[in-house]
Structures are given as structure tokens and as C-alpha cells.
Chains A and B, each alone.
Chain A
């Protein structure tokens, strides 16, 4: 599922700093060098689907962060009791429960978001990033490290989908977070600066293009090559 495998050799070090160098890497690594979307190419489905506007994307990002941190924590706490033969089912059950919780909470407190996102929130269950981190990291590491790892991976996922959503909403609808940008620009500089929105960006094809460009720029910078 994931290209990375767990490989932490626990050395007896009493009171390791809360954010030691090793632990910082759990968070910083997935942001760029081992980004779940751009390097591992996981979670593309939701990255394409929810990113037409910034606001639902932000809610999706927060939901994924919550689910990943909590799932990693739960699985890590149970890691010594989970029977290895049914571990995938156990992981699924935990993730599905957390996702249902998110769904119920959104339905109660943010009904408009719930209407817009409910299908995609359900799809977090099948988001390979979540299962990938559980299988590759949480099953073999301590709870606190697992929380950091889940948070890092979810953050790596979040900033990419937010970047995609920024360009899609700006170019496709002429606004950012629902605030009209194009109208303001033509309001300040006069009619000749009125910009046309690009309908392609609203459709999933637009997300493919933006995502492709982001991956291209990033891999050019980091020099990452797929083997």
C-alpha cells in the first residue's frame, strides 16, 4: 500500500524530547520529500473530487487530519493485542467508526457542509493514505510517534488539496474562499481588466491538470525519480 515501510529502531533513550529531530521528521517528511499525494500518488480520488472550492476542501482536510491522528493512535495503542490475521479488518473497523463519527458531527453542527461533503467523507474510509499509515507505521510504533506520523501525512495531504483547490476556485469561479477576486480586480482597474473564468477548472479534469503541474514542479525541485 505504501512505498515506505516502518523502520524505527527503538533505542533506549529516557525522555526523548517531545519534538526531537527524529520526531520532527515524522511531520516534515510527508510535507514534501515523501508527500502522500505527489510522491506516493495516493488519495488522488478525493483530491480530484472535493477541490472545486476552498471551504469544503478545508473541512475535508480537517476531517482527514482528525481521522488519521485518531486512527493511528488507536491502532498503535492496540498494536500488541491486534491478532495479525485479522488486522486489516480491525483497521477498517476503526477507520470506518471514526469516519462515521466525523459524518455525524458534521451533520449536527455543519449541515451545509454535510450535504456537500457526505459522499466524500465516507470515502475517507477507502483513502489509501489512512490504511497505508496504519499498516506501515502505527502497527509497529509507539502511540505518540504514531500521532505525529498520522498528523504529518494528513498535513502533507491537506496542503496539496488546499493548493489544488486554491487554483481551481480562483481560475474556475474567480474567487477564493467564496470571496470574489475577479470582480474586485475588474472593479479596481476598470472594465478592460474583467477576467473570464475557466469552466474546465470546475470539472475534475481541471484538478488533474493542476495536480500534474504541482507534481511536475515539485519533482523538478527535489529531483525525485520514480523507479
Chain B
């Protein structure tokens, strides 16, 4: 059967409007729930840098949020390590709400750098580690993560990585616990105090336990690994000024840890 053009156009318009209303209605209704899910996921990732994945997966959503509230405090710094409390419009900044991906598009000097501090329950001054968000590009799309540094701000306590679209089984392995565990105990500054970061090497299966700045690579995912390396190096250097201030004030603590 052959319909007139008017019929076809009318049908298409009605269909488009109905489907469009359906979709926008759904996103209106589900929007707040999705926002909560994203927030929970972000907090889980931040905690993932200091806790192992098993501990987190055993916690219910409420427990995660409660634990986060008790143990994590946050602030936002600029590239010079100065704490900033208000954004350019004069509104107060909350570190958890800073969109790191959006900031990534600005030039490094203009970005807001959120920082999360893992501390003992009820005492914000007894810092256990500093958690730094990192962001960069993998092979297909963006990658991100959180790096937890010990109080000496030299040694990595733990890392967690996430990705948008890395290849499953290859680049996507940066989210695997055994890959992230390779970073534990590595050092981001060398003995002379220069930032060298930690780099994944090409190839997989070698033992880098003797080298504080190298970790075993991902076979078949060199570009993703390079993306991770760049991401770490860039963001650690952006936070360098802030970390330096912590290094000088925290010396006594370092001595006691060593």
C-alpha cells in the first residue's frame, strides 16, 4: 500500500513527539536516582584507592556513604597548591561536585583540583593518606582514577582506575585489582625530590619489584598503559605544589613511619 506524503510526514511527526516525550519523561523521573548512583560510584572509587575492592563490595550503599562521611574530608586547590574555597562566580566549591572531566578540558592553570583526605574517624588532622584524582586519555576514550599517597607524599598507598571504553580483556584490565596492586608501595618522587611518577612498562610478566618508579605492563594494551602513565605524570605534577607543602610540614611524621 502506498500512502500520501502528508500521511507519512504526519505519522513521523507524531511518532517523534511521542517517543521524545517518553524519553524525556523517563530521564526526568530517573534523573535524581541516577545522580545518587553516580555519587555513590564516585565515593566508592575514591575509597577504592585506600581500601581493597572486597571490603567495599561487602558494604551496602548506606555503609559506603557513612564510612565516606566519617573518614574522608575534601578540599579544592589550584595549580599553585593554594586552597580555593570559591569558584570564579563566588559560589562555594565542594570537592565532590567538581567535574574532573570538565576541568580536564581547561588549561592546567585554570583547573580546580579537588583533593580527598583519608583520616582517622573523628579527627581530621590525623591524616592517613592523600587521595588525588587523575584524568586522561586511554586508547578509545577517557580514563580516570584516584591515587592514594601515604603521609610522606612519596609512596603510593593504592590506586584505582576507571575507563569509559577501553577494550575488554586488554586495556579494560586497568580496573582489575591485580593490575592496580602493582602500584602499591611505588614512589612518585626520586631521592633528589624530583617528580618522576610511576610508569607501566611495555610487555608483561617482568618483575619490577626492585624499581620504585616502574610497574609491569599490560600485554596487548600498550596505548592504554601509556595513557595511564601520562595521566599519572600530568596530574601528579599539577598537584606537586600542594604535595610539596605537605612534604615540608609532615617531615616529623615521615621519620616516625620510616
Contact = CB atoms under 8 A, between A and B. Distances in A.
A interacts with B: yes
B255 interface: no
A77 to B, nearest CB: 13
Contact of A93 (B7, B8, B16): B16
Interface string A19-53: 00000000000000000000000000000010010
Interface in A91-135: 93-94, 97, 100-101, 104-105, 107-109, 111-112, 114-115, 119
A105 B29 CA distance: 10
The 5 A-B pairs with the shortest beta carbon distances in the complex, nearest first, are A111-B37, A108-B33, A108-B30, A83-B3, A83-B8
A210 interface: no
A104 B27 contact: yes
Given A97-B23, A111-B37, A85 B8 contact: yes
Contacts of B12: 86, 89-90
Given A86-B12, A104-B27, A49 B34 contact: no
B15 interface: yes
B34 A108 contact: yes
A82 B11 CA distance: 8
A140 interface: no
A126 to B, nearest CB: 16
Contacts of A89: 12
Contacts of A93: 15-16, 19
B15 A83 contact: no
Nearest to A100: B23
Interface of B: 1-3, 7-8, 11-12, 15-16, 19, 22-23, 26-27, 30, 33-34, 37-38, 40-41, 162, 165, 168-170
Interface of A: 49, 52, 81-86, 89-90, 93-94, 97, 100-101, 104-105, 107-109, 111-112, 114-115, 119, 202-204
A119 B169 contact: no
B194 to A, nearest CB: 36
Contacts of B27: 104
A107 B7 contact: no
Contacts of A101: 22-23, 26
Contacts, number: 62
A105 B165 CA distance: 20
A111 B19 contact: no
Contacts of A86: 8, 11-12
A98 B41 CA distance: 25
Contacts of B15: 90, 93
A26 to B, nearest CB: 26
B21 to A, nearest CB: 11
Contact of B169 (A52, A90, A107): A52
B168 A107 contact: no
Given A52-B169, A85-B8, A105-B30, A111 B38 contact: yes
Given A82-B11, A93-B19, A107-B34, 13 more contacts: A49-B168, A52-B169, A83-B11, A84-B3, A90-B11, A97-B19, A104-B34, A105-B30, A108-B33, A108-B34, A108-B37, A111-B37, A203-B170
Nearest to B1: A84
7 contacts: A84-B1, A84-B3, A90-B15, A97-B22, A101-B22, A105-B26, A111-B41
B33 A81 contact: no
Contacts of A85: 2-3, 8
B22 A111 contact: no
A109 B7 contact: no
Contacts of B16: 93
Contacts of B3: 83-85
Nearest to A112: B41
Nearest to A94: B19
B111 to A, nearest CB: 25
A59 to B, nearest CB: 15
A22 B177 CA distance: 52
A49 B169 CA distance: 10
A85 B6 CA distance: 13
A52 B169 CA distance: 9
A52 B168 contact: yes
Contacts of B1: 84
A104 B30 contact: yes
Contacts of B169: 52, 202-204
Nearest to B41: A111
Contacts of A82: 11
B107 to A, nearest CB: 29
